[in-house]
């Protein structure tokens, strides 16, 4: 949390005296920065009694930001990988040894966040399933029983690449009506709204748009970070949308692994184990995740079609490679 407060020097991993002085905050307010896995005390006896836990239990700091706990639980080895934490919104990232601070990272609005074991999380936000949630809210007015599984099935049956949307467009940020937001975007970009006349059509536009935007964002992260990825890890609740997982593999053209769903909880729990001396390293922690949770593998399909459609996506949405 200190690393995203804008009050910390990301190189020294200490509070920035320069920033404190510039804003006029006394340096005496600077607390000790606690690392994930540090023991910060023991559970109070009265709380232990209320919860039925034995007294004297150590309190271990997790990676407090949920994305950092989730990133710790990415079941990856080596360096040629990236990850996307998926859900209502998504965060695409690389794990690096040090912050990447440059004019280009500033221009592209890429952030450096603190991770467990003093790793740096080179991250960029992408709109997530918030759009489809807002669409579902509208569809449920007339179809109360409509669930996400049926929406996914209808999207799978809809024609591919009928139109294109940029899920990070301002129209998608907080739409009162998600379906109308999709139609408004199609009108704004001179596309036919016919593809948005059915539930499956709208859902497919959203899912394809997300998959293409993942590719767009990860390509920039890799270019600035000097990284080439051969594997993508999807974590979080969004991986329950198996159609979007497959579309993501297709759009990026790399082998994609999905799991675990509850990466934040798993990372939090295993950092408690690390702080208690049960786990010795990040590599061991991730090995436990890989051996505990079922990971689903998605291989890229229809590469030529998806590459051609990606070019159309960029042109239609006014994005430059």
Q: For the domain that residue 308 is a member of, what is the CATH number? A: 3.30.420.40
Q: What pTM does this model have?
A: 0.95
Nearest residue to 238 (alpha-carbon basis) of 89, 75, 81: 89
User: Could you tell me the pLDDT band of residue 56, with boundaries at 50, 70 and 90?
Assistant: confident
Q: Please say whether the beta carbons of 185 and 166 come within 8 A.
A: yes
| In-domain check, residue 46 | no
d(C-alpha 101, C-alpha 46), whole Å: 47
Instruction: Write out pLDDT tens, residues 272-297.
Output: 999 999 999 999 999 999 999 999 99
Element holding 95 (H helix, E strand):
strand 89-96
Our count of domains for the chain comes to 1
Cβ neighbourhood burial of 88 (10 Å; 0-12, 13-18, 19+): middle
Q: Considering the chain, what percentage of its residues have pLDDT values greater than 90?
A: 94
pLDDT at 34 > cutoff 90 = yes
User: Could you tell me the pLDDT band of residue 32, with boundaries at 50, 70 and 90?
Assistant: very high
The catalytically annotated residue of 45, 46, 66, 169 is 66
| In-domain check, residue 4 | no
Tell me, yes or no, if 118 is annotated catalytic.
no
Report the Cα 188 to chain-centroid distance in Å.
Answer: 28
Average pLDDT, the chain: 96
Mean pLDDT of 133-149: 97
| In-domain check, residue 300 | yes
Instruction: Write out pLDDT tens, residues 84-120.
Output: 999 999 999 999 999 999 999 999 999 999 999 999 9
| In-domain check, residue 51 | no
Instruction: Write out pLDDT tens, residues 176-210.
Output: 899 999 999 999 999 999 999 999 999 999 999 99
Mean pLDDT of 233-262: 98
| In-domain check, residue 28 | no
Element holding 138 (H helix, E strand):
helix 130-142
pLDDT at 54 > cutoff 90 = no
Element holding 296 (H helix, E strand):
strand 296-298
Per DSSP, the three-state class of 133 is helix
Q: Considering the chain, what percentage of its residues have pLDDT values greater than 70?
A: 100
Domain encompassing residue 145: 65-321
| In-domain check, residue 105 | yes
| In-domain check, residue 84 | yes
SS (H, E, C) 187-229: HHCCCCCHHHCCHHHHHHHHHHHHHHHHHHHHHHHHHHHCCCC
d(C-alpha 147, C-alpha 12), whole Å: 48
| In-domain check, residue 42 | no
Q: Residue 298: what pLDDT?
A: 98
């Amino acid at each position: 949390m200190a690393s995203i407060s804008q009050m910390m020097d990301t190189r020294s991993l200490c509070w920035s005296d320069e920033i404190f002085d510039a804003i006029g905050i006394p340096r005496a307010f600077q607390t000790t920065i606690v690392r994930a896995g540090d023991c910060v005390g023991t559970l109070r006896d009265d709380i232990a009694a209320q919860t039925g836990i034995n007294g004297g239990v150590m309190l271990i700091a997790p990676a407090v930001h949920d994305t950092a706990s989730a990133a710790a639980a990415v079941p990856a080895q080596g360096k040629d990988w990236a990850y996307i934490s998926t859900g209502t919104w998504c965060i695409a990232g690389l794990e690096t040894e040090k912050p990447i601070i440059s004019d280009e990272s500033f221009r592209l609005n890429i952030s450096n966040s603190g991770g467990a074991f003093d790793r740096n999380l080179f991250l960029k936000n992408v709109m997530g399933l918030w759009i489809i949630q807002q669409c579902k809210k509208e569809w449920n007015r007339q179809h109360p029983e409509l669930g996400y599984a049926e929406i996914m099935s209808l999207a799978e049956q809809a024609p591919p690449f009928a139109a294109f949307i940029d899920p990070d467009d301002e129209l998608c940020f907080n739409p009162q009506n998600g379906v109308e937001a999709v139609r408004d975007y199609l009108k704004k970009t001179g596309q036919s709204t016919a593809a948005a006349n059915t539930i499956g059509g709208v859902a497919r536009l959203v899912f394809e748009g997300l998959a293409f935007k993942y590719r767009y964002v990860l390509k920039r992260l890799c270019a600035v970070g000097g990284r080439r990825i051969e594997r993508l890890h999807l974590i979080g609740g969004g991986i329950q949308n198996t159609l979007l997982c497959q579309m993501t593999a297709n759009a990026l053209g790399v082998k994609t692994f999905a799991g675990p769903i509850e990466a934040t909880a798993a990372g939090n729990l295993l950092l408690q184990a690390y702080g208690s001396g049960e786990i010795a390293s990040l590599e061991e922690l991730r090995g436990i995740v890989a051996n505990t949770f079922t990971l689903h593998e998605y291989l890229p399909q229809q590469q030529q079609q998806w590459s051609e459609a990606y070019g159309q996506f960029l042109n239609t949405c006014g994005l430059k490679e």
